[in-house]
Structure 1
Amino acid sequence: MRLRLSDFDAVTFDVYGTLIDWEPSIIAFLGAWAGRHGVSAPGKDLLMAFDRARADIQKERPAHLYPDILRRCFERVSREFSIAIDVEERERFAATPHAWPAYADSQVGLKALQAKAKVGALSNIDNASLASSCIKLGFSFDVVVTAERVGAYKPDWPHFHTGIADFAALGIPRQRILHIGQSLRADVTPANRLGLPCAWINRPGRLLGLSGEGAAEAKPDLTVSSLVELVAALTGAPADIT
């Protein structure tokens, strides 16, 4: 199946990991925190401990707002590495989404796509954190679906159902929507199960969302390593980030 942007009227994006480069910031925070407590652990081990905790906690209902997800993750990682829970550091970790940077290609890629289609965000985040990220992206989405809005987290389906309904209200049917994400677990697999065409941005060196429940089943219709590559594949004209 060759994906062409002309076959779609809307594209929906996962945000964190796909457009916002959060992993280095998470590793740096947890690495510095562990070091202050005399724990020497590889960054990958800290990141995967966070990912396991995040996947479990996001299944809890009623759903927690994302800052509270981060607090609970911090507490679990603290226990896993036998570090006493430091409330001040836990609160600093809960606020880190406001500082996570955008990938260098995100803004130009999003604007290139928005010139030809509506662009939506389906994000496992709270509204305030996403607002900060949109400032870093320098971009306004046409449709925004957050975990705070739907009271659930992907790979559960409320994000997708709500996004489909929002675009239907704009006259765009579900078969004209393309979903794009970095997470196999939270984006590609549920899109597969819902029958939505999807593209996987497999960012080099990034790990979150590539393992865990359902990840091995993921079958993207297109795999690229950057948003610039995605735009080129969909339109035949690469987005220039220089």
Structure 2
Amino acid sequence: MLRLSDFDAVTFDVYGTLIDWEPSIVAFLQAWAQEQRVTASGDELIMSFDRARAAIQKERPAHLYPDVLRRCFDRISADYGVAVDPARREAFSRTPHEWPAYADTEAGLKALQARARIGALSNIDNASLASSCAKMSIRFNIIVTAERVGAYKPSDEHFATALADLDAVGIPRQRVLHVGQSLRADITPANRLGLKSAWINRPNRLLGLSGEGAAEARPDLTVSSLGELLEAIA
């Protein structure tokens, strides 16, 4: 069993784990689909986004996240055989500033931060994460973004940088717990690097649950919310 007393730092994936981005993305793409007379379910649209995102985030040099979203929009348009709407494309690139936090995020993070350092390891740009931190009313002790390291999870750069930041304040990797909703981007690399991990399997969410080793991901703990995580490890 995992116990919070065994850890001095808890690092988090942000989008999908703490920020509830998926319904907002689905709503945006459904509105676009209706305008374009595209027949597709919300699940089909979000999986088209997930496939595009996974491929684009492997490209090097890495794109800043607003450009990842622009390129995702281009590929989704191509998937459904419609011309790219430039205004919709640009609006999609700005959506991270609108994504809300889960209801349990603020209280859960503050409870954890009273007992351990907390970190954000996020496939996002710095400006978008700043907007999300304001929604969560939290200041993370360490922050590692795709913009900072020039790469996207599940590549190791995020984790190597976070572990170096924590080692600099005397916290070894054995005292770090990583928490994420994405099997592909978080639990799989945590397994590879020998980190303890907890999977927050948020109900009715699909992003990050397939592709690139997701089927082999083995979290040390599985819960359905941040509140449940706190109950389990307290």
Interval containing the TM-score (normalised by the shorter chain): over 0.9
Aligned position for 1:82: 81
Give the length in aligned residue pairs: 234
Structure 1 residue 193: deviation in Å?
0.3
Aligned position for 1:155: 154
Counterpart of 2:53 in structure 1: which amino acid? R
TM-score by length of 1: 0.96
Distance in 1 separating the partners of 2:137 and 2:103: 11
Aligned position for 1:18: 17
Structure 1 residue 213: deviation in Å?
1.1
Deviation string for 1:5-44 (max 9, x for gaps)?
Answer: 0000000000000000000000000000010011121000
- The 4+ residue runs of structure 1 with deviation greater than 3 A are none
SS in 2 for 1:119: strand
Distance in 2 separating the partners of 1:180 and 1:86: 37
Counterpart check, 1:111 vs 2:110: yes
SS in 2 for 1:97: helix
TM-score by length of 2: 1.00
Distance in 1 separating the partners of 2:125 and 2:64: 6
Aligned position for 1:132: 131
Where in structure 1 are there 5+ consecutive unaligned residues? 236-242
Counterpart check, 1:182 vs 2:164: no
SS in 1 for 2:202: coil
Deviation string for 1:119-176 (max 9, x for gaps)?
Answer: 0000000000000000000111000000000000000000000000000111111110
Where in structure 2 are there 5+ consecutive unaligned residues? none
SS in 2 for 1:121: strand
Aligned position for 1:205: 204
Aligned position for 1:240: none
Aligned position for 1:239: none
SS in 2 for 1:178: strand
Report the RMSD for the aligned CA atoms in angstroms: 0.4
Structure 1 residue 83: deviation in Å?
1.2
SS in 2 for 1:36: helix
TM alignment of 1:44-55, pairs within 5 A: 44-55=43-54
